């Protein structure tokens, strides 16, 4: 269900490299949530770093929404750069497995497979 790789890079470098990889692969970064900073700003003792990148390819998103508008709740794709102890990790929930839990439409599975391939390439490029 998850695709997670360990990076030898620093957290900040892996995050910067992920953002560049997203753009190189024809997707856009809609927003970056700095979950660690948000939690700490609320007074929560949170030692990890975690940035969640909301990424989207408009053509692929339009195909999904044209098939089943309810799937807007599964968009955009999210890729995270996070720390676990002294490790920097980059990961995502695989789109094929996620969408297959929400729909059995074959055309959607094809779109999900294409998006999964691209997002996994982004993760590997940023690693």
What DSSP assignment string belongs to the chain?
-EEEEEESS-HHHHHHHHHHHHHHTT-EEEEEEEHHHHHHHTT------EEEEEEE-HHHHHHHHHH-GGGGGG-SEEEEEEEETTEEEEEEE-HHHHHHTT---HHHHHHHHHHHHHHHHHHHHH-
CATH of domain 2-126: 3.30.310.70
Do 109 and 63 touch, CB atoms closer than 8 A? no
Q: Which tens digits make up the pLDDT trace of 53-73?
A: 999 999 999 999 999 999 999
Q: Which tens digits make up the pLDDT trace of 70-105?
A: 999 999 999 999 999 999 999 999 999 999 999 999
Of the pLDDT bands very low, low, confident and very high (cuts 50, 70, 90), residue 125 is very high
Q: Which sign, positive or negative, has the C-alpha torsion 44, 50, 51, 57?
A: negative
Could you state, in order of their start, the residue ranges of all structural domains in the chain?
A: 2-126
In this prediction the pTM is 0.94
């Amino acid at each position: 269900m998850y695709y997670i790789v360990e990076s030898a890079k620093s957290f900040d470098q892996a995050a910067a490299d992920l953002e560049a990889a997203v753009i190189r692969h024809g997707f856009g970064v809609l927003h970056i949530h700095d979950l660690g900073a948000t939690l700490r700003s609320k007074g929560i003792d949170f030692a990890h770093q975690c940035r969640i990148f909301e990424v989207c390819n408009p053509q692929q998103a339009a195909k999904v929404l044209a098939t089943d508008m309810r799937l807007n709740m599964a968009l955009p794709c999210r890729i995270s750069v996070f720390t676990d102890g002294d490790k920097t990790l980059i990961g995502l929930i695989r789109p094929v497995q996620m969408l297959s839990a929400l729909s059995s439409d074959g055309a959607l599975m094809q779109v999900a497979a294409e998006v999964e391939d691209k997002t996994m390439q982004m993760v590997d490029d940023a690693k």
